[in-house]
Amino acid sequence: MNYFSSDFKLGILGGGQLGKMMLYVTRKFDITTKVIDSSADAPSRIACDEFVQGDILDYDTVLEFGRSVDVLTFEIENVNVDALEKLEDEGKKVFPSSKTLRTIQNKATQKLFYLDQNIPTAPFSRFAYTSEIKTVLENDALKFPFVWKSARFGYDGQGVKVVRKVQDLENLPNVECIAEELIPFKNELSVIVSRNVSGEIKTYPTVEMEFHPEANQVEYVLCPARLPKHITDKAESVALQVSKAFQHVGLLAVEMFLTEEDEILVNEVAPRPHNSGHQSIEGNFTCQFEQHIRAILDLPLGNTESKVASVMVNLVGAENHTGDVVYKNIEQIMAMDGVTPHIYGKKQTRPFRKMGHVTIVDKDINKARAVAQSVKESIKVISK
């Protein structure tokens, strides 16, 4: 099929920053795009050929949208998977598939899938409601501390809480959830695996992630990870095992823990471009967003190697600031060597909202990390 400068139309469910960065690529290749998002001010609106405002959790809305495009993909997991399944039954190409998404959408189902596939993961218990956990604790069938995770609709630090005492459960929503053993780990790692329709597979280099202790959001992503090769090889091997189990098409970001004993445990996955791959825009020969487009259109996959060491810093809304956004000291960071800011186009900031990211590149990963620290300390995402 001729995708370039033609009548072909790619549909994207979700119009956030991931969609916007995918659209950098479709603009480069002159691939026609249609995007749907519930917000009239979605970041993707300015970059797509056609924009529809609509609810991507609504069955009929997704069905109608999917029928109007040639290939359908998504930039967020919270979409109506029943509609995707129906579209596939009608012969529509949906990548990643509804089957992949249905397993991943629910964290409890995702964890059970790992057990079935002999994929290493932290021990866990599944609950229909959070309130059931107290009963189990009273019977000594569960030990503190553990990690409470909402089975559905968790993201960016939402729907996850470390529980160290009974009182920590009090303000949590009474929903389907899992209680996962709190693993003492040395590092959090991520490997992005790309797989096209024909089955060609490539992995990106292992990255290490540093998290904000309060917001439970990634603060820094470092590529390549500052770890011995036998560890990164093991991480990439586990990521390939996960990819093979899902048989996904597109990108699969596999987040993992490196334990004190140097074991790799899978935390969770995302079937789309991911925060742990943003530095690939400046740092790798083929960025994750281009790779996703190549994979779902069954084009040859690009070279995933790093051109240069890179560190990504998330730009999130400062605490105590809500309203029209201002990027304080952005000129100051742009004066630093190897620094590139990406602004997502969200007009309103609020505490810890992802508003952009900054990539820092250098031949030396440790120098890049030091500059990243300066960037983090300099730029502030505040309100007017």
Is 107 among the annotated ligand-binding positions?
yes
For the record, the structure tokens of 333 come out as: 């960071």
Is 380 among the annotated ligand-binding positions?
no
For the record, the structure tokens of 120 come out as: 């290493």
For the record, the structure tokens of 205 come out as: 């280099």
The one-letter amino acid at 359: T
Distance CA 144, CA 343 (A): 40
Is 149 among the annotated ligand-binding positions?
yes
Is 208 among the annotated ligand-binding positions?
no
The DSSP line for 135-184 is HHHHTT-S-SSEEEEESSS-BTTBTEEEE-SGGGGTTS--SSEEEEE---
Q: How many CB atoms lie within 10 A of CB 52?
A: 16
Is 188 among the annotated ligand-binding positions?
yes
For the record, the structure tokens of 373 come out as: 């620290």
Is 180 among the annotated ligand-binding positions?
yes
Residue among 190, 181, 164 at smallest CA distance from 121: 181
The one-letter amino acid at 26: T
Is 196 among the annotated ligand-binding positions?
no
Is 182 among the annotated ligand-binding positions?
yes
Contact indicator for 337, 343 with CB cutoff of 8 Å: no
Distance CA 240, CA 242 (A): 5
Q: Can you say how many angstroms the Cα of residue 17 is from the centroid of all Cα atoms in its chain?
A: 11
Distance CA 5, CA 2 (A): 8
Q: What is the rounded radius of gyration, in angstroms, for the C-alpha atoms of the chain?
A: 21
Is 360 among the annotated ligand-binding positions?
no
Distance CA 104, CA 120 (A): 16
Q: Can you say how many angstroms the Cα of residue 290 is from the centroid of all Cα atoms in its chain?
A: 15
Question: Looking at residue 157, what DSSP letter applies?
Answer: T
CA dihedral 59, 63, 66, 67 (to 10 degrees): 180
Contact indicator for 18, 75 with CB cutoff of 8 Å: yes
Distance CA 278, CA 283 (A): 9
Count Cα atoms within 13 angstroms, Cβ side, for 68: 17
Distance CA 231, CA 233 (A): 5
Distance CA 264, CA 292 (A): 25
Binding-site residue ranges: 107, 149, 180-183, 188, 267-268
Q: Annotated binding site for ATP: which residue ranges? A: 107, 149, 180-183, 188, 267-268
